[in-house]
Amino acid sequence: MSDNDLSIRIDLASGVRIGPGKIALLEAIRSAGSISGAARSIGMSYRKAWILVDEINHVLQRPAVATEAGGSGGGGATVTPVGETLINLYRAIQTGARRAVASEFQAIEKLMREEADAPE
Amino acid sequence: MSDNDLSIRIDLASGVRIGPGKIALLEAIRSAGSISGAARSIGMSYRKAWILVDEINHVLQRPAVATEAGGSGGGGATVTPVGETLINLYRAIQTGARRAVASEFQAIEKLMREEADAPE
């Protein structure tokens, strides 16, 4: 019944953080082909998605997301090779970390109350 | 010059998250001997600290923090053995994860702009 999970966040010296939210946004842009479509698909506001994309692009040497000025339907957006590398490395870090600490993670789970037994 | 860092968050099925903030609070309670002193030492409001302690205690089978009704000086608080175990396991997870993914982490760092070169 364990849906407990471990998430990873990269805290850059600049103060910018790259965690599950930003990576999910990049993956959604890859699927949707636009920032507006990506935002919609993960229930994020368009404004918030733009701010996060801008933050990601700004900390990288080369942008993770390339946007095209749009016609009537709004512009498209694609994940660049650098963006793909970032996604892949993040996912590798997540998988590697989960595997490395599986036993400690199980030990923490044992300290927790069972959902079914919890009051309220 | 790398002050980049990796932080770990445990996402419980109940929706509660245990990450660097809550663990730092537990460690501060251990040092300060009270929730008010701990909150002060990490720049957190007393109210916020109480809410987090309550959340931590509620998800565990046995509380991580024990409080004593206070006299004129306010009540003290101590970290219980369960709380100590939680801190130690979290720190072990953090160390283990960092060690396991060091090379992927370095690869992500190489995608990043150097602080000194960043505009603004």
Do B84 and B62 touch, CB atoms closer than 8 A? Answer: no
Long-range contacts of A68-73 (CB under 8 A, 24+ apart): none
Give the residue from chain B lying closest to A85, CA to CA.
B108
> What tokens appear for B13 in the block?
């099925």
**Per-10-residue mean pLDDT for chain B, 120 residues long?**
82 89 97 96 96 95 89 78 97 93 92 66
Which residues on chain A are in Cβ contact (under 8 Å) with B88? none
ipTM of the complex: 0.81
Best mutation target among B60, B95, B111 (most A Cβ atoms within 10 Å) is: B111
Query: Are the C-beta atoms of residues A68 and B83 closer than 8 Å to each other?
Result: no
- A17-28 confidence digits (pLDDT tens): 999 999 999 999
**Quick check: B2 and A9 CB within 8 A?**
no
Enter the pTM of the model.
0.83
Give the C-alpha separation, A9 to A18, whole Å: 6
